[in-house]
Structure 1
Amino acid sequence: MIRLNKKTISLIVLAMAVFSAKAKEISRDTIFINSVEKLAQYAAKSNVLVKMKPGEYTIKSIKIGKLSTFKRDETSKKTDDFRIGSLIHFSGNNSQYFLSGVTLNIDSKLHKNYAKSEFSEFLVSGNNNYIEGLKAKDVGNEVPANRIQMVRVMGDDNTIKNADLYVHGSTPYGYGHLLGKGGGALVPLHKHSVLLVEGTNTKLLGCKVVTHAYGHGLVMQGAVNTLLEDCYVEGKMRATNEMLAETSGLAFDVGFKSDYPPGKIQPNEIKSLSEDGIRTYPAGGLNGRRTKGVTVINCTVKNMRSGFDLSANLPPTKVVGSTAIGCQEKGFSVGTDAIIENSKGDALYGPLITFVGNDVKNCNVDLELVDTISEYNVPRLAEINGSGHHITIRNYKNKKRSIESPIVFGESFWDDVHRYRNPNAPHGTYAGAENIKLFNYTRMPVELNDLAINCTITNSEVKNKVVNAGIGGNNTYDLLKRVDKDVLENKPDVVIMMVGTNDMLNTTKLIDYKTYTTNLEILIKKIKSSGSELVLMSPIPADSVYLFTRHKKILFSETPNKKIDEIGKIVKTLATENKVHFYDLNAEFKALNLPIHNEDILIRNEKNSGKKDGVHPTALGYRFIAQNVYHFLKEHELLKPNQNIICFGDSITRGGGEGANYPAYLNELIEW
C-alpha cells in the first residue's frame, strides 16, 4: 500500500482546488488542435482537454456550425421548442479548452443566417466546462437576420476566463436607444449583444468586451449565482448633433422622432450607441426562471448606456470595487437588498446612480464620485427612489466636481419615461422615496420633492481617523494589487492587517501555505518600509457546518480551522522575524470556545442573524474585535494624538452596513 504524507496530500488537494474552477478533474491527455473545424469537433465532446495552436483563424462558412433544438422546461410559460443556431457549440461536459494566443475572426456575413431562430456565434450548452483565452472578432458590419449574441452560456457550472470579444453588426446602430429598444420601436430591431448568461454558477473572469453594435455587453437572463470578476466592457458615444445633421439614414427616415421623451431627438446631447454594460433581466432560459444572485468584483464599464444595471434580478446582489465611466443613462442601478461598496463612477453624461422605481428596498450603497465633467448638461447627479436605503456618496480623492448637479429624491429618468408614455398615471406611481438615509459628502446640492417622505441627509463628513480598507473576497494576492493605492499612498501612522480567511477557506481563492507566506511577507516588507507601524492579526475561526454549505468539503485536506490555525502560526512567525506587532485575535475567540454552531452571538448564524454564514462577525462580534484591538494598541503605546490608522484586509475588516465593522467601532473607542 502506498502511503501519502501530509505534504503530498496538500499538493493534491491544492491541484483539485485549482481545477475545480475549470472542470471536474478527470485523468486525460491533452489534445492539440490547429483548425476551427477541430475546435468545433471537440467542443461537442465531454471530458477532453484541448489546446489550440496560437494564431489567427477565420470562420467564414456557416457549415462549421449547426442548428440545435432544446426542449423547454415544464415550468416555462412557453411550450414550443427552442431553436438556436451556432458556429462553435460547446455541448460537451467537464471539458477544458485553452485558446490563449488564438484569434478567431468571424465573417459578419454569417450573421445573415438563422433568420427564423436565435443565433449565437459561440454557444455553451454543456455543463462544468472551462474555456480560457477565447478571442473573437466580428469582421465586417453585416446586420443580423435576427437578434444574435457572440457568446451564450446556457449550461451550468461553466467558467469563461480571459475572453476578448469584439462585436460588430446590428441595426439600428448610430442612435443608441432613441429609435426604440423593444416593443413599439420606430424601426426594426436586429440587436447584437456580446455575452448572455442563462445557466447557474457561471463565472466570467477577466473578460474584455468591446462592442460597436446595438445590444448589451454582459447580460443575465434566468441566470442564477453568477460571478463577474475583473471584467471590462466598453462601447462608443455619439453626439445627437451629428445624428440631426444626417440627410439620410434611419433617423432621417422617421423624421428624427424618438421613442423617448419629448418624442424628438434633442440637440446638444450625447448617447451611447450600445445598451447596458452589465445587465440583468427578470427571467429567462429554457425554464423561464427568475434571474437571481449576481456578484460583480473589480469590473469596469465605459461608454455604455448604463454601467451596472442590476435592478431586475432577485437578491443577493453585490458590486465591489467596480467603476462606471462615461455612461449615458446611469452608472449604477440595483434592486432590493443590494450592496454596492468600494466602487466609483463619474457623472460625465448621466447620473452616478439611479434607483429606477419606488419599489426598491433596503440597499446599502457606498460610492465615490469622480470629478470629471463634459460639455453636456447632467440635470441629476443621482436619482434616489425606494425605501430603507443607506447611501453614502463621497468625492473620489476628495476632488469636488466643478459643475454642480443636484442629488434628487422622488425623480428619475425612468419616471419621466413612464409618465410620458402613461400621462394619466397617478402622481407617485413610479417614483418616490421613503425612510432613506443619505450621507452626501460631495458638496453637491440635494433636492427633495413631495414624494420624499422621512428621508434624512447628512452633508458634512466627520473624518474618521480609522480608515476601513477592507474589501470582501480579498486574499493576499488581492491585497498585493492594492496595497500601494489603498495603504501606502495615504501614509498611515499605523496599519492593522488581517488576511487569510479567503486564502484558506474560499474555494475560488485557495492558495497553499508557502504562497500565503510569500505574499504576506511581501506585504509586511512594503508596509514596514514605508515607515508605518504594522500590527498583524491572526484570522478568526469559522463554523465549518455553514462554511461547507457554500464551499465543497472535498477541496479541504484539513479542517477549515486547522488551516486557520496554521496561518495564525505563519503570521506570528513573520511578525517576529520582521519585528512588527502581532495580535492573536483568533485566540480571543477560542478563549470563548467560539464558534458554537447556531448558538454563539459573535459570529453570524441562522439563529442570531437569519444567515447560514459561520465566517463573518455579527455587529456585536465587530464590537468585540474593536474592543480587543483598542486595548492591544493602548497597551503597546501605539495610540498617539492626530494619527491616521488604516485597517487593511478582507470582508471581516470591511464588515456590514450601517457602520457595523470593527474599524468604525475602533474609531469610536479612541479618544482623539
Structure 2
Amino acid sequence: MRLTKLCFLSLSFLILFVSCQDARAKAKDEVVSIQKEIITVNSLSDFKKYIDKDDVKIKLAPGNYQIDQAKSIRFIAVTGNNSHYDLTGVRFMVDTKLFSRKDLAKSDDGNSMYCAIEISGNNTVFEGLYIETYGDASGLQSKNKIFNVVGEGIVLKNVEVRTSGSNPWGYGYLYGLGGGDVRKMNGIRVGYPAKNVSLIGCKVHMRAMGHAIFLQGAENTLIEDCHVDGLLRTTDAILAETSGYGFDRDFYALKPKHAHKNGYVEGTVIGLDGKILPGEIVSLSEDGIRLYPEYQGHPTKNTTVKDCSVFQMRRGICVGLNKFGDKVINCVVRDCVTTGFNVGNEDVVINCSADAKYGEAFGVPYTNAKNAAVNINILDSRNGMANNMLAKINGTGHHIVIKTGNDDFIPKDMAIKLSVWEGYGNYNSKATMHATNIKLENKTQTQVLKHSGTQNLEVESKGQVIEVKS
C-alpha cells in the first residue's frame, strides 16, 4: 500500500513537473513569437534598415523595386541572424551597370565577386523573391552572380532568378571558356563557410553564360524541389550570322587547352583549328546544378539534390567533380548538351531520369572514380543531334542500372560505352581508360560496347554486349 501511494505521488509529481515544463516552453514560444512579430515595410530603403538585425521577421510589401544604386560590390548584404525575410510578391530589377562599377567598396572576405544579394547571417530564412537583371552591361568579371549564400543554417526558399548581362551572349562556351572575353552572370552560389544550407523550391532561368546553382566549399547542403532552365542554339544558326561577335572572328572559337584530340569541347565538336563546325549544338549557359570540389582548401561535402529538374543546360546535375560521395534523388534532366548526370566517386543517383538527345544521359567518366551507384530511367531521346552515346562508364566498382519506359525512346545507333575517352570528362591525355569490376544491369535494348580496359564486367543486358577490339 505504501509503495502504491509512493508511486502515485511520484507520478503526480512527474505530471506536475512536465506540465510546468510545457507551460514554460509555451511561454518561451510566446515570447519568441512576440519578439518575431511581423514588421511590414513598404520601401526598399526601409527594408534595408533590417537586413543587419537579429531576431526579426520582415515582410516587404509586394511590388516592383529597382536596384540601381549600391555602396559595395555586395549590393544587398543580409547579415542578420535568426531572422526571417518574406518577399512574397516582390520583384527586384537589378541594373547590370552595377556589376561594372569600380567605385563600390570591396568585400573583406578576400573574394572580389560582385553579387546582387549576399546572405551571411546564420539561421536566416529568405523567401519569395523574384529577381532579374536588366540592361546590356556585362560587368567587370566572370564571377558575377545574383545570390551568394555563405552563412550557416540558411534557408533560401521559393526565390526565382532570371539572369542576363553576359558577354558575348549567344555562343555559350565557344568563346572564353577558361579565360578570354566572356563575362558571366551566375545564379545562386553556396560557398564556404556555408553549412547546413537549404535551397527549397527555387527556380533559375539562365539567359546568360554561367552556372545556375553551384557549390564551393559548402557542407551539408540540401537542394530540393528546384528548377533550372537555359537555352540551346545550333552551330548552323551561329554560322548563318552576317554580323556580330562570331562573324567578326570568322567563326573561329577560342579552343580550350583541355579540348580532345577530335575537337570535342564541352559537348560540342569544333575543328582542330578551332573553327566552328555545322551540325552541332551549344548550350548558351553552363551547368544546372554543379559541385566544385573545394574553395580555397575547404572541401565541398555531403550534398543532397532531391526532386529537382534541369532543362537545356550544358551539364544537368554535376556532382562528379567532387571527391566525396553525394546523393541525387528523384531528379529529371532533359536536353542537356554535355551530359545529363555527371557522376563520380562514391556518388549515389537514385530514381533519376534523363534523355540523350544531345549528350549522354549520364556518365561516370573518371578513371579514379570508385563505387558509384546509379539507377536511371532513359527518357525519349529521339530527334536529337550530334550524339550517339547513351551512357559512359569508367572507373572501378560501380553498380549501374539503366532502364526505360519505352524501348523506342532510344535510337538504335546509340550505345552504352565502357573504357572510352569519348564524351565529357577526360582531361589527362596520358590517362589509361578503364572500367573494372563494374556491375551493369542494362534493362534496355541498347548495345553495350566493351572497349579495351574493361575487366571483370558483371553484366545483365537486354541489348547485345560487344567486345570492341582496339
Residue 9 of structure 1 deviates from its aligned partner by: 4.7
Residue 235 of structure 1 deviates from its aligned partner by: 0.5
Match of 1:450 among 444, 449, 452: 452
Counterparts of 1:118 and 1:407, CA distance in 2? 41
Q: Is the 8 A contact 1:201 1:225 kept in 2?
A: yes
- 1:254: which partner in 2? 249
Residue 436 of structure 1 deviates from its aligned partner by: 0.7
Residue 83 of structure 2 aligns with an amino acid whose one-letter code is: S
1:433 aligns with 2:435: yes
1:154 aligns with 2:150: yes
- 1:41: which partner in 2? 49
- 1:125: which partner in 2? 120
The 1:125–1:33 alpha-carbon spacing in structure 2 relative to 1, beyond 3 Å, is same
Q: Is the 8 A contact 2:366 2:426 kept in 1?
A: no
Q: Is the 8 A contact 1:293 1:313 kept in 2?
A: no
Match of 2:136 among 131, 138, 141: 141
Counterparts of 1:11 and 1:59, CA distance in 2? 45
- 3-state SS in 2 of match to 1:39: helix
1:615-649 Cα distance to aligned partner (Å, 9 max, x none): xxxxxxxxxxxxxxxxxxxxxxxxxxxxxxxxxxx
- 1:308: which partner in 2? 317
The 1:192–1:336 alpha-carbon spacing in structure 2 relative to 1, beyond 3 Å, is same
- 2:282: which partner in 1? 271
Counterparts of 1:380 and 1:368, CA distance in 2? 15
Counterparts of 1:12 and 1:299, CA distance in 2? 37
Residue 416 of structure 1 deviates from its aligned partner by: 7.9
Q: Is the 8 A contact 2:414 2:446 kept in 1?
A: yes
Greater fraction of residues in helix = 1
The 1:215–1:386 alpha-carbon spacing in structure 2 relative to 1, beyond 3 Å, is same
Match of 1:103 among 83, 88, 91: 91
Match of 1:218 among 213, 218, 221: 213
The 1:440–1:10 alpha-carbon spacing in structure 2 relative to 1, beyond 3 Å, is farther
Counterparts of 2:101 and 2:36, CA distance in 1? 36
- Identical aligned pairs, as a percentage? 35
The 1:340–1:11 alpha-carbon spacing in structure 2 relative to 1, beyond 3 Å, is farther
- 1:170: which partner in 2? 166
Moved more, 315-324 or 105-114: 105-114
1:382-432 Cα distance to aligned partner (Å, 9 max, x none): 11111100000000356542443111111244668636xxxxx43xx0632
Counterparts of 2:371 and 2:347, CA distance in 1? 7
- 2:266: which partner in 1? none
1:217-260 Cα distance to aligned partner (Å, 9 max, x none): 00000111100000000000111111112233332333323324
Match of 1:190 among 169, 183, 187: 183
- 3-state SS in 2 of match to 1:43: coil
Q: Is the 8 A contact 2:127 2:156 kept in 1?
A: yes
The 1:335–1:102 alpha-carbon spacing in structure 2 relative to 1, beyond 3 Å, is same
- 2:66: which partner in 1? 58
**Aligned ranges 1:254-653 → 2 under 5 Å:** 254-258=249-253, 259=255, 260=259, 261=263, 262=272, 263-284=274-295, 288-396=297-405, 400-413=409-422, 418=427, 425-426=429-430, 429=431, 431-460=433-462
- 3-state SS in 1 of match to 2:40: strand
1:166-204 Cα distance to aligned partner (Å, 9 max, x none): 11111232111122421xx4x322111100001111100
Matched residue count: 421
Residue 164 of structure 2 aligns with an amino acid whose one-letter code is: H
User: What is the alpha-carbon root mean square deviation over aligned residues?
Assistant: 2.7
Counterparts of 2:248 and 2:227, CA distance in 1? 35
Q: Is the 8 A contact 2:444 2:462 kept in 1?
A: no
Q: Is the 8 A contact 1:354 1:412 kept in 2?
A: no
1:244 aligns with 2:239: yes
Q: Is the 8 A contact 2:366 2:425 kept in 1?
A: no
Moved more, 137-146 or 272-281: 137-146
- 3-state SS in 2 of match to 1:88: strand
1:435-466 Cα distance to aligned partner (Å, 9 max, x none): 111111121111111122222321139xxxxx
The 1:35–1:367 alpha-carbon spacing in structure 2 relative to 1, beyond 3 Å, is same
Residue 109 of structure 1 deviates from its aligned partner by: 2.3
Q: Is the 8 A contact 2:407 2:445 kept in 1?
A: no
Residue 436 of structure 2 aligns with an amino acid whose one-letter code is: E
Q: Is the 8 A contact 1:373 1:403 kept in 2?
A: no
- 1:205: which partner in 2? 200
TM-score by length of 2: 0.83
- 1:628: which partner in 2? none
- 3-state SS in 1 of match to 2:389: coil
Residue 335 of structure 1 deviates from its aligned partner by: 2.0
The 1:33–1:270 alpha-carbon spacing in structure 2 relative to 1, beyond 3 Å, is same
Q: Is the 8 A contact 1:298 1:321 kept in 2?
A: yes
Counterparts of 1:208 and 1:372, CA distance in 2? 25
Q: Is the 8 A contact 1:44 1:91 kept in 2?
A: yes
Residue 12 of structure 1 deviates from its aligned partner by: 6.8
Counterparts of 2:86 and 2:16, CA distance in 1? 34
The 1:4–1:257 alpha-carbon spacing in structure 2 relative to 1, beyond 3 Å, is farther
